[in-house]
Amino acid sequence: EVQLVESGGGLVQPGGSLRLSCAASGFTFSPFWMHWVRQAPGKGLVWVSRITSDGSNTIYADSVQGRFIISRDDAKSTLYLQMNSLRAEDTAMYYCARANYGSRGAGDAFDIWGQGTMVTVSS
């Protein structure tokens, strides 16, 4: 079964750090660009970050630029999101998602999503 399973969420104080993981199974992880998307409680989807298949290129939403780092370990078929200097507004369900159907990003769509891991930033 093709799936993504996130872990690492939890309660953290403002200014703290957290590392999320996303374990892929059921498909060959390495060729795919991967993304993180978040959703605050009761709110809409917000794109967070993307990493290319070889890990050489990353990009971030302005709201997390300089605080979050996306990375991947193809040997472990795992995607990561290191979150630093966390703020209350980072409270959200974090989803990892596989990009597919496009060509070097253009036309990509998220065809596989994990179940999400909840991050709560509060004192």
Partner 1 sequence: SYELTQAPSVSVSPGQTASITCSGDKLGDKYACWYQQKPGQSPVLVIYKNSKRPSGIPERFSGSNSGNTATLTISGTQAMDEADYYCQAWDSSTGVFGGGTKLTVL
Binding mask 83-102 for partner 1 (x = CB under 8 A): ------------x----xxx
In angstroms, give the least distance from the CB of 44 to partner 1: 4
Among positions 41-80, residues that touch partner 1 (CB under 8 A) are 44-47, 50, 59, 61-62
Stretch that binds partner 1, among 18-26, 67-75, 77-85, 108-116 (CB under 8 A): 108-116
- DSSP letter assigned to residue 89: G
Q: Find the farthest-apart pair of alpha carbons in the chain and give their distance in angstroms, rounded.
A: 43
CB distance 36 to 81 below 8 Å: yes
Contact set with partner 1 (CB under 8 A): 35, 37, 44-47, 50, 59, 61-62, 95, 100-102, 105-111, 113-116
